[in-house]
Amino acid sequence: MSAEVAIQKFSFPFARAAHLSQENDVTRKGCIQVKTVELRELQDNPVLSNPSSVRVIGAQAHNEKQAQESLPELPPGQDVAAAQVLVCGEAFKSTVLSRQCVFEKLIVESEDQRPAAKRQLSSESAARTITVVKKSAVRKEADEPRHLQQKAQLGQRPRACASVTVTRKHRKDLFTSSDVFHRVDSHAVRAGAELKEKCVYNVKTIVQSITKEARTELEKLRAIWVWLCHNIEYDVSGYLGHSEKLSSPEEVIAAGRGVCCSYSNLCTEMCREVGIECQEVPGHSKGIGYRQGQSLKHVKSDHLWNAVLLGGQWFLLDACWGAGRVDMEHESFVKRFDDFYFLTDPEEFIDSHFPDEEKWQLLGIPISLEEFERRVFKTSAFFSMGLRLIRPHHCHIVTDNGEASVSLGFSKPTTFTYEITQHQDLLHCGASEQKESINSSFGILTVSHRSMKLQLLPPASGMYDVKVFARPEAAATPLVWVCSFTVECPTPRAMEEIPENPFLSWGLQPVAGSLGVTSSSQSSEVAEVDEGVFDLVLKTSRPLMMLCELVHPEMDAAIAKRCLATQIKPDTLTCHVLCPLHGFYRLSVFVRDYEKTEVKFQNTANFLLHCRGKVVSPHELFPPNLGSACGPGTRTSEAGLSKFSHTTAVVVTQQGKCNITFHNHRDLELHTVLSKEENKSAAFPLSRYLFCTYTDTKVTVSISLPDTGVYRLGLYARITPGGDFNPMCDFILRNICDQPGIPFPCVYSAWSKGCVLFEPRVGLLEPASWVRFRVRVPGIQRVSVVGETRTDLKLNKSRIWEGDVFSGNALQVLKLAVSLGDSSDMAVLMTFDIKQQDKEV
């Protein structure tokens, strides 16, 4: 029989995959036949004792005699399960002989020449039989990394005596989603409930009933798994020693409770009834009773789970963990079907389950017990949400300068929070769900496009437990526990208190894009505020309304309102922030669609600001009663007000005066208001420091400020005739000029569109002096200045009324008036005050 035929015919669950190069193809020439050795003899040889990878090293066989001499001597009388072994050898080329050669001896069983009685191997004896495939190869250098060596896979059957690459199947290769088992699951749950009502406790009867709808081995296994998870609860009382543990399968089924060995034993028994090979796997787990940081080196393993053979490959499952979790605080079992532990991939299973026998790790490169202890504990939710650990790689973190960090990646939008508490020995203690962040002052959680970063700042020296919680962005359920760490803080960092963040993370929220916010000028990192002033700019995909909240641990809410000014444009939202205190601030932004006034504002971003340099003094805060729309924006555009000379919300004047111009395309009736927090020293009302001029569509608002400080200029418009004036926008005027501004004339309603005052531009005139008047008033027959006497102004070629007027001494006011016709009645446009010699202004 050829070597190819032999390899195809004799392979068993613990066979090693063959990987032979073309140069090492086994030929019929030089093949010899010897008796096989049973597994118990192979295990006595330390080289052959590993069932997942057996290698026999020998010299190159040039002929049949040399090959026979190189084989180990078999014990006399060895004829149980005897079979023939093919050892194939062929000389290498002379260029290969320059290096030391390594051979893996090919041992295959010849079914054709076995006794018929021995040919019928049970699945149990087959599991104890081992096949070794010969492969000639040049010895790797001693320092070659271990991960480059090929590892045997339990249950992987070699295909042929040729160069092949075997890839282990994963759970996703067996089924794309658990939804494919809906029919099988439903039947297993329904049948289980019916059998329970009928008090049926026989394993065989139960298996026959629950697998009735199953068509394949996989579906039969699924039905058994689902029945176990839904009908057996963990026996917390038995685990704690409060009651006797149940042993037999019938007792466990009748009581509906058991410990881990009850689940694994029942799973094995039920699988045997449907012909599925199933093994119980003992080992350590990070379940109830597991103490973080403890060494398991000399500790007896405390858990049992199962391995099943499907399609020639072993898979792992744990019905005990799939049935629910134990609440140690209340000493009770919480039923919660967890599909993750059904045929879990070994790479994920190893984070929480460490088998006593290395082979049951089912990993290409097995890990050590010490590595298992150091690994970060991840719950099933960690994997089901598609999270990945970026850093740290081990569960124990030591702070550096009082700080430690954790970072997770995600593929779908995810919401995170965390909990940091004093260290407790037991891993499974405290809440497994979380609604809001707590103790957020001990850390800074930021979420970017595809990753989460948690900066931990323990408040004092000591050990701490950190739990990370998460949920899919669109979910309305509580956040669930996904992973845990321990943090050791030798020396805490001296720092200010961080304000609470009830919105879970810093930076743009994952929902920001759906709410219309596309980008931010500030990242999720801490923003260092210079000079006590910070500006935030958000870009939007559609018109939005915005509200902001500023929080400092020591700042009053009324003061906080005077630290914010928002400007709303169709594609941009701007928030101006003032910091009157040192330390950390939380700036939260809320938005809604501009037109949807009935919709509630939603949190879209939260930023952590840190001010440790210069701060803003109290008299530099924004004016009280600012509107939500400061500066030109969406509202002014909708009203037809455009081409503003000042496009920002804050206007700084170094001379104490300025002109703000814009165009009024809809010819709306406008109104302006100037205000300040305190104006006790002003001799005139603040309305006298504003002067408006309307020409065609252009509007000019002239401002002259009486003293230094911060003012609010409110712009209002009457949108509908006879209606109320609606706020258009507020400007923040910051005056840094020490010289007091002079008030404008007091204007009356007759001063209307088209009227322009050229001279004098002040409303306070020197006494006993000649004053030049120049004014344009369209459609008027006569313009006069009335004081001690009346002085009529003359109309020049430029259609400007002009003339010189004596201010006089006795009167305190000069009136600029107009006459529409021959009538002697005149309408006052404005009045001018005369300085009094004995009055200080």
Of the pLDDT bands very low, low, confident and very high (cuts 50, 70, 90), residue 441 is: low
- Please give the average per-residue pLDDT across 481-491, as a whole number: 93
- Counted residue by residue, the chain has a size of 841
Which residue, among 109, 174, 155, 163, has the nearest Cα to 136 in the 3D structure? 163
The Cα–Cα gap between 835 and 661 comes to: 30
498, pLDDT greater than 80: yes
69, pLDDT greater than 60: no
Residue 760 pLDDT: 95
352, pLDDT greater than 60: yes
Residue 425 pLDDT: 67
Residue 160 pLDDT: 35
pLDDT in tens, 732-742: 999 999 899 99
The Cα–Cα gap between 425 and 289 comes to: 9
Of the pLDDT bands very low, low, confident and very high (cuts 50, 70, 90), residue 57 is: very low
Which is higher by pLDDT, 836 or 609? 609
71 CB-near residues (< 8 Å, 6+ apart): 34, 87
134, pLDDT greater than 50: no
630, pLDDT greater than 70: yes
Residue 89 pLDDT: 37
The Cα–Cα gap between 126 and 120 comes to: 10
The Cα–Cα gap between 230 and 100 comes to: 59
Residue 110 pLDDT: 33
Three-class DSSP category at 444: strand
Residue 142 pLDDT: 37
Residue 743 pLDDT: 94
Of the pLDDT bands very low, low, confident and very high (cuts 50, 70, 90), residue 502 is: confident
771, pLDDT greater than 50: yes
- Please give the average per-residue pLDDT across 328-352, as a whole number: 91
Residue 429 pLDDT: 63
DSSP state of 22: G
Report the mean per-residue pLDDT for the chain.
Answer: 80
217, pLDDT greater than 50: yes
pLDDT in tens, 38-51: 333 334 443 333 43
| Alpha-carbon dihedral angle through residues 131, 137, 143, 146, given to the nearest 10 degrees | -30
pLDDT in tens, 719-730: 988 889 999 999
Of the pLDDT bands very low, low, confident and very high (cuts 50, 70, 90), residue 812 is: confident
- Please give the average per-residue pLDDT across 544-569, as a whole number: 95
Token readout for 696 is: 């065609």
Residue 835 pLDDT: 86
Residue 434 pLDDT: 59
pLDDT in tens, 772-800: 999 999 988 899 999 888 999 999 999 99
- Please give the average per-residue pLDDT across 465-491, as a whole number: 90
Q: From the CA atom positions of the chain, what is the Rg in Å?
A: 43
Residue 406 pLDDT: 95
469, pLDDT greater than 70: yes
Of the pLDDT bands very low, low, confident and very high (cuts 50, 70, 90), residue 390 is: very high
**Residues 707 and 740: beta-carbon distance below 8 Å:** yes
| Alpha-carbon dihedral angle through residues 234, 236, 239, 244, given to the nearest 10 degrees | -90
672, pLDDT greater than 90: yes
27, pLDDT greater than 80: no
Q: What secondary structure does DSSP assign to 533-594, as a single string?
A: EEEEEEEESS-EEEEEEEE-TT--HHHHHTTEEEEE-SSEEEEEEE--SSEEEEEEEEEEES
The Cα–Cα gap between 235 and 242 comes to: 10
Residue 76 pLDDT: 37
145, pLDDT greater than 80: no
Token readout for 628 is: 């939500």
The Cα–Cα gap between 773 and 761 comes to: 9
Residue 12 pLDDT: 34
Which is higher by pLDDT, 634 or 133? 634
746, pLDDT greater than 70: yes
24, pLDDT greater than 70: no
Range ranked top by mean pLDDT from 132-146, 214-228, 821-835: 214-228
Residue 679 pLDDT: 62
CA distances from 705 to 278, 685, 834, 836 (A): 89, 11, 19, 21
Residue 33 pLDDT: 36
The Cα–Cα gap between 470 and 416 comes to: 4
21, pLDDT greater than 50: no
Residue 355 pLDDT: 96
570, pLDDT greater than 90: yes
- Please give the average per-residue pLDDT across 709-719, as a whole number: 94
**CB-based burial, 276-305: b 16+ in 10 Å, e otherwise:** bbbbebbbbbbbbbbebeeebeeeeebbbb
407, pLDDT greater than 90: yes
Percentages of the chain per state (helix, strand, coil), in multiples of 5: 20, 35, 45
Percent of the chain surpassing pLDDT 90: 56
129, pLDDT greater than 60: no
Domains of the chain: 175-367 (3.10.620.30), 383-423+441-489 (2.60.40.10), 507-611 (2.60.40.1220), 623-743 (2.60.40.10), 745-840 (2.60.40.1930)
- Please give the average per-residue pLDDT across 516-539, as a whole number: 93
CA distances from 807 to 82, 699, 741, 747, 831 (A): 134, 30, 21, 19, 12
The Cα–Cα gap between 73 and 69 comes to: 9
Residue 781 pLDDT: 87
Residue 164 pLDDT: 46
Residue 244 pLDDT: 84
pLDDT in tens, 266-311: 999 999 999 999 999 999 999 887 877 778 888 898 899 999 999 9
- Helices of type H across 122-244: 123-127, 171-174, 182-197, 203-210, 217-231, 236-239
Residue 724 pLDDT: 92
427, pLDDT greater than 50: yes
pLDDT in tens, 169-215: 999 999 999 999 999 999 999 999 999 999 999 999 999 999 998 99
